[in-house]
Chains A and B, each alone.
Chain A
């Protein structure tokens, strides 16, 4: 049995209707995937409990390695380990050449002018590299959510142009993900804080990552975000804070000369730990000692603030420029949202608050906030929150459904479901060659149609003649904000359609509704038994019908007279049991009849295959098969 999650009242989806959606923050340095489970949007960890996937792919002859394992080997195998591929997305070879000086890759030019990278596993495009990262995240989500994803929302920087956006979509397609929408990163952050539910407003998003800084000014108008201005510095980030500390350390130690690459890396790691410690502590101790280099230093938060102050001031200047570009006054900005791990640094928070004159929003983990916003958006887009945007929240007093074979009521929309709502369910034909279907719309909680209230009947005609169970008839129940129910039925292969409109609560008083509910509780056990009985009868009827047809068609040709007689006796026996109300006897009878006719069924199958193959050459069969595929 599949594992079950808790759902908000009235929101449980039918089996196979449950939609799995995720939001992906495809970042320059790290990527994350998040999803809404049990009403909460959260990032999904891997087996080791790691939420962030380093956006690093290492190509080896044996195949690609993705994430932390690839990052560990970046220094050993720089040509084949692709980092920061996001900077190359949708870029021509000319653009890349300017970046290429910072990147150790061997670029080759493609006829289309797009850059490609030569690796141990052949030439790869930035799109393929991104696809590997996406595939790894999508697989993680599929495992966590126990099924394929129906759709994803991927975030991109607000300044991405069409080529960069298209490249991101292509990467998703290559990874086998269905992209519901690309979402601007600042918009995702605003959604995570629920700022999209307001009517109007201006929002500033301050995003300071490891190696990049972005600031965006958004305007929300009637539920739509418009990007007014973007700015920033593509080579300023938290890593620069680490460098500032490391330089200070070298000065403190009095060391002169060139540092080895190894020592540089070690000092940067220590600087980084000190920076992280100073987020909550007032003081951090840094010590390092080996043959060439010895240092033992105390870094206070004030001293740290002094070191990074010029860097943070640079970000504030970029904010000022963006606000000016956006054409808004500082006082018009209602909210400021902090994104990116480096916004944990207290000096950043206080300088941002000083400039904007308001305390910025930073309750949600700044590393995860973009993915969380994307997940919320994906959940709505995939259809898990029907009509969430609409404010009117009335509920249906009684379930709405329709009559199925055996006089059973199949509930399509459950009671207490908020309206407006639309729900579709697929039904099929019961008899061979059936060309019409009577749709009987009923209301109530009881299992048998006779105990429910009949609302309307209409007929869908023009169904093409097919064997029982082959036609697909989609029946849609739609209740609008005024409580008006419209039911439409549509045969999906031909598109023939019929519909009816009713007002389900018409003429019902509160007392009557209560009475209908009460009777369904009083008769719960009866109803369950009645339902089983009706289902058993329907199944028996279906088997009798199918076997009767088959006997009339092929019986004499395939079976000796006494066998036909035996089967007809068995049918008669089951028909006798049908008039009784012993569910078990009917079910057993149906099973017996099924077993008795097994041999006949296999004889018919063989005969059908012989007929189909008679007088045909293998070549003809091949042709036919390819015809069928067209």
Chain B
């Protein structure tokens, strides 16, 4: 379990961190929010927090705090292009439903 990246996702994280110039990995967190419960937050990690759990996938260190892990354990992150738009897509086995706009989800 934990969190995994596809090769494409890993490539994008590498190029993102390179252009940013700093960061030891990527953080996947979950935030509770109004619309349909929960949303993903993806951030670069500059400082590892003592409570962080580390998952290594495709050479990338993914950090997840224990509170978020409950919602994202087993998630696979992919990086996809849809027409001109591109971004991360999540395959999260915990997800039960999404809000109509697809911006948030419930477990």
Contact = CB atoms under 8 A, between A and B. Distances in A.
Interface string A451-484: 0000000000000000000000000000000000
B67 A9 contact: no
A623 interface: no
Interface string A130-171: 000000000010011110000000000000000000000000
A574 to B, nearest CB: 21
A10 B104 CA distance: 18
Contacts of B69: 524
Contacts of B41: 7, 12
A14 B31 CA distance: 9
B85 A16 contact: no
Contact of A38 (B16, B34, B36, B89): B16
Interface string B19-54: 110000011000111111101111110100001000
A248 B5 CA distance: 58
A15 to B, nearest CB: 3
Interface residues of B, number: 46
A579 interface: no
Nearest to B96: A532
Contact of B70 (A9, A15, A425, A525): A525
A15 B34 CA distance: 8
A427 B39 CA distance: 18
The size bracket of the interface on A is: 35 or more
A527 B30 CA distance: 14
Contacts of B102: 1-2
Contact of B42 (A6, A18, A522): A6
A4 B51 contact: no
B51 A44 contact: no
B89 to A, nearest CB: 6
Interface in A418-438: 425-426
B71 A528 contact: yes
Contact of A527 (B51, B65, B67, B105): B67
Contact of B32 (A44, A425, A525, A531): A531
Given A16-B103, A528-B107, A4 B40 contact: yes
A414 to B, nearest CB: 6
Nearest to B26: A6
A445 B67 contact: yes
Interface string A511-527: 00000011011101101
Contacts of B88: 3-6
A411 B32 contact: yes
B101 A15 contact: yes
A528 B71 CA distance: 8
B40 A3 contact: no
A40 interface: yes
Contacts of B44: 6, 8-9
Contacts of B19: 40
A403 interface: no
A51 B68 CA distance: 39
A447 interface: yes
Contacts of A4: 40, 42, 87-90
A15 B33 contact: yes
B85 A145 contact: yes
A47 interface: yes
B42 A144 contact: no
A39 interface: yes
Contacts of B84: 44-47, 140, 143-144
Contacts of A535: 37
Nearest to B51: A521
13 contacts: A3-B82, A4-B88, A7-B41, A8-B43, A12-B39, A12-B42, A15-B34, A44-B84, A47-B84, A145-B85, A410-B32, A410-B34, A411-B31
Given A3-B87, A521-B67, 9 more contacts: A1-B90, A4-B42, A14-B34, A16-B35, A44-B84, A46-B84, A445-B67, A524-B69, A535-B37
Interface of B: 13, 16, 19-20, 26-27, 31-37, 39-44, 46, 51, 65-71, 80, 82-90, 98-99, 101-105, 107
**Among all A-B residue pairs, the 3 with the closest Cβ atoms:** A3-B87, A15-B103, A524-B67
Interface of A: 1-10, 12, 14-16, 18, 38-40, 44-47, 140, 143-146, 410-411, 414, 425-426, 445, 447, 517-518, 520-522, 524-525, 527-528, 531-532, 535
